[in-house]
Structure 1
Amino acid sequence: MSFRKRNVGISDGRRPQPTVPVASTPVRLPGVRPSAADGRPVTSTGSASFDGLFAGHGGLPLGTSILLEESGTTDYAGALLRFYAAEGLMQGHYIHVVGLPEQWGRELPGLASESSKKSVETPHDDKMKIAWRYERLGQHGTDMAARDRTPVAATDMVSVQSGPQQTPFCHTFDLSKRLVHPPTAQVKFLRPDPNPTKTCFASILSELTSVVKSTTPDTIHRFIVPSLMSPALYPLHSSMPEQILSFQHSIRKLLAAYPNRLTLIQTLPLSLYPRSSGLTKWVELLSDGVYELTPFPHSADAEFAKSRDPNTKEEPPQGLLRVHKLPILHDLGSGTPLADTDWTFTLSRRKFTIKPFNLPPIEGDTDAQQAAPKDDQPKKAEMDF
């Protein structure tokens, strides 16, 4: 009686052929690199500090839509749209702009000079003293801006433009200059249909879909929708729920059809459509990321100007940036949540920066600080490692 081990298949005597692994060539796309969180392709918004507010991805993930809400009569969100469009032109992306005239494309910020780049990249005594190898990690703000502008290694799944020098992932722009469009720049300005009997966004969606289908698979498209439902740019019937919600659903369908080729940033004036309205809540639900810009009143600007150090060169913050929704890309979650911090933004004559919000010291509290025993305070030599 013969015995054999159980759970062992009976072989036919032939040796299995060894499988040769197929070398997968990474797809290199212009202005795209893998996410620091999960490796999915991300692109830059043109602002290094804004790139740090996308759930740890280090940029805007492809196939996602971002909603920028702004209260008041200011146009800080419009500056972010200009950086977004300028970065796309420098990376060779296809830009689609809705509702704005062609003059807007000639007013995009130009590239910053080397001197202004150094002023942004050089921190003010901000190095970490725990370990030298962590200095490149940096913090949110100037250190991260310098890190994101370094050229990416050739081994990464990132595309660089052909040439002797690699194109940086995020350029440094200067709002006081005007961008010289590259010879291969592709910008299309789309106009909504003013006919009240038709859907005003139908022609925009059909033209956008046809352009995406006709271009090559390595072409990245950036879709810009400024001041959504504003009567200054769109017809009055664009704010009807059946019009705007159909447009948002169609955009999500298009992003799902081309997840690695299309991104969208749109702005919404909260002075016309507050967050308490049902229409605004639906637009937020249909967006992957929601950020709100709340400018400070003029009285607050004066208080910040008085409380800041006169020796510092940094300008006081001009408003709060609230993060209402992060681009979580699937049910299990993708990316790391932001720290429970308030953020401020500053729009200077040259740049747009986002930093953590720190309250100035309270006036009249110097007596309490001086009355505290000095022995309890750690010395500088004890704090250094």
Structure 2
Amino acid sequence: MLTSFKKSVKGSGGDQRIPGTQRSIHNGQLLCSTGVPSMDSVFGGGIPVGSVLMVEEDSNDQYASLLTRYFVAEGVVCGNAIITVSSESIESQVNHLPEPIFSSAGPAYISRERMKIAWRYQRMPQTDASYGQPLDYGHNFDINQAMNPSRLRNCDYNLINLKEVYNECNAGKAELLKNVIKKLQRHMHTNHFSVDPVMNTGQSSKVLRVVIPNFGSPLWGTMDRSSAVQFLFCLRKLLRNSLAVCIISAPTHTYPEDIVQLMRHHVDTVVELKDFGSDKTNPLYKEYHGLLKVHKLPIVNTLLPYMPDTLDLAFKLRRKKFSVERLHLPPNIGTSQQEEGSTDNNTKPSIHNTPIDF
């Protein structure tokens, strides 16, 4: 006799879909979009709810800060709740959010139509540079256009001000991280983002997006190894029992290597942005702005993570968007015509020997 059953995940609302989320087709995990569809495809559709994504910043923090803005903008459009741990005001943060592009065409991919102008490229193998396939959730954003203020009127946006938390600390900088965790925990419990089977409280119908930019920078004061690792351990434990997802950007290029390895161990997903800057001596890199190194893929409620078909990835800042692409060599057609013609350099072709005379 055939039987069937439907698994109900606590905190997911049963069959009711939570705005801004989607079930993974690989393991059924509840996913949230990062705001960059091509990066979502690298992770198998998005980042799991209840996990921590750490972005190791580039040297100038140009692209990492852009990813955090994408993450926040996606939460605004989807109606998610947002809380940021920063020393900047909410107004200064929302002023730099990109405007969403609502289009049914999906992400921009390389056309497979016949090239009529660049006819010399027709015999070359075409490569779909943009990573992944279009998703039925998530959005594209125009980084050249600021988000319409009307979208932010009903947004549930909160701030944990680092300056105020530091002033509340009696023991100095060592208590800063503990107080941030306490404020996050209090906010999650108060707004019912935590899944507590003992208390049996009401469950929120929204996902909370936690944004922690520039973790470990001078704004956070002097942190030793044990306090930074303990903060990440407590943060991940807090998210595991919550309907929330977190993104952290950290200038790990300024950290000792042993601390970086410990930090990677205590988060769920790690990607590193290595920008080229003005140094593009390698012709392979001339089409890109940097490399995207995946150090750790999310393994949440599953034995094996989703593994993309390649980890040779690069990122490019296009005219309107940030895109993750496969790293590949450009087509080489410099001597294609010469190879197809006569191989004898001393023999000059005659117009009388040509089969067709125009």
| Shorter-chain TM-score tier | 0.7 to 0.9
Correspondence list, 1:286-301, <5 A: 286-300=266-280
For the 8 Å contact 1:345–1:355, the answer to whether it is kept is yes
- CA shift for structure 1 position 38: 1.2
- CA shift for structure 1 position 332: 2.2
For the 8 Å contact 1:301–1:318, the answer to whether it is kept is no
1:328 to 296, 299, 321: 299
- CA shift for structure 1 position 271: 3.0
Counterpart position of 1:360: 330
- CA shift for structure 1 position 121: 3.4
Distance 2:68 2:210 in 1: 10
One-letter identity of the residue aligned with 1:174: D
Pick closer, same or farther for the CA change 1:46–1:281 going to 2, 3 Å.
same
1:256 matched to 2:240? The reply is yes
- CA shift for structure 1 position 34: 0.6
Distance 1:271 1:91 in 2: 33
Distance 1:299 1:371 in 2: 38
Distance 2:97 2:179 in 1: 26
For the 8 Å contact 1:121–1:142, the answer to whether it is kept is no
For the 8 Å contact 1:200–1:243, the answer to whether it is kept is no
For the 8 Å contact 2:38–2:132, the answer to whether it is kept is no
Distance 1:372 1:327 in 2: 56
Pick closer, same or farther for the CA change 1:264–1:302 going to 2, 3 Å.
same
One-letter identity of the residue aligned with 2:276: F
Counterpart position of 1:207: 183
Unaligned runs of 5+ in 1: 1-20, 128-137, 151-168, 308-315, 374-385
Pick closer, same or farther for the CA change 1:223–1:348 going to 2, 3 Å.
same
Distance 1:363 1:200 in 2: 58
Distance 2:313 2:335 in 1: 25
2:69 to 82, 99, 112: 82
Counterpart position of 2:230: 246
Pick closer, same or farther for the CA change 1:342–1:143 going to 2, 3 Å.
closer
1:273 to 246, 251, 255: 255
Distance 1:139 1:360 in 2: 12
Distance 2:231 2:290 in 1: 30
For the 8 Å contact 1:64–1:255, the answer to whether it is kept is yes
One-letter identity of the residue aligned with 1:88: G
Distance 2:341 2:324 in 1: 36
For the 8 Å contact 1:122–1:142, the answer to whether it is kept is no
- CA shift for structure 1 position 340: 3.5
- CA shift for structure 1 position 175: 0.8
- CA shift for structure 1 position 270: 3.0
Counterpart position of 1:27: 16
Distance 2:109 2:6 in 1: 45
One-letter identity of the residue aligned with 1:291: V
Distance 1:124 1:340 in 2: 22
- CA shift for structure 1 position 343: 0.7
1:39 to 3, 18, 28: 28
TM-score under structure 1 normalisation?
Answer: 0.70
Most deviating of 321-330 and 295-304 = 295-304
Counterpart position of 2:117: none
Pick closer, same or farther for the CA change 1:345–1:263 going to 2, 3 Å.
same
Pick closer, same or farther for the CA change 1:369–1:186 going to 2, 3 Å.
farther
1:285 matched to 2:265? The reply is yes
Unaligned runs of 5+ in 2: 9-13, 115-126, 193-202, 344-358
Correspondence list, 1:52-71, <5 A: 52-54=41-43, 56=44, 58-71=45-58
- CA shift for structure 1 position 242: 2.8
Counterpart position of 1:164: none
For the 8 Å contact 1:295–1:318, the answer to whether it is kept is yes
Pick closer, same or farther for the CA change 1:299–1:38 going to 2, 3 Å.
same
- CA shift for structure 1 position 366: 5.0
For the 8 Å contact 1:52–1:140, the answer to whether it is kept is no
Pick closer, same or farther for the CA change 1:361–1:256 going to 2, 3 Å.
same
Pick closer, same or farther for the CA change 1:350–1:37 going to 2, 3 Å.
same
- CA shift for structure 1 position 177: 1.3
One-letter identity of the residue aligned with 1:52: S
* Percent identity of paired positions between Structure 1 and Structure 2: 25
For the 8 Å contact 1:343–1:356, the answer to whether it is kept is yes
Pick closer, same or farther for the CA change 1:121–1:349 going to 2, 3 Å.
closer
Give RMSD over aligned pairs: 3.2
| Secondary structure in structure 2 of the residue aligned to 1:201 | helix
Distance 1:37 1:118 in 2: 25
Pick closer, same or farther for the CA change 1:336–1:126 going to 2, 3 Å.
farther
Distance 1:188 1:341 in 2: 36
Distance 1:119 1:22 in 2: 31
| Secondary structure in structure 2 of the residue aligned to 1:247 | helix
Deviations 1:53-82 (A, max 9, x none): 11x2x1111111111113422421111110
Pick closer, same or farther for the CA change 1:369–1:28 going to 2, 3 Å.
same
Distance 2:334 2:87 in 1: 50
For the 8 Å contact 2:41–2:132, the answer to whether it is kept is no
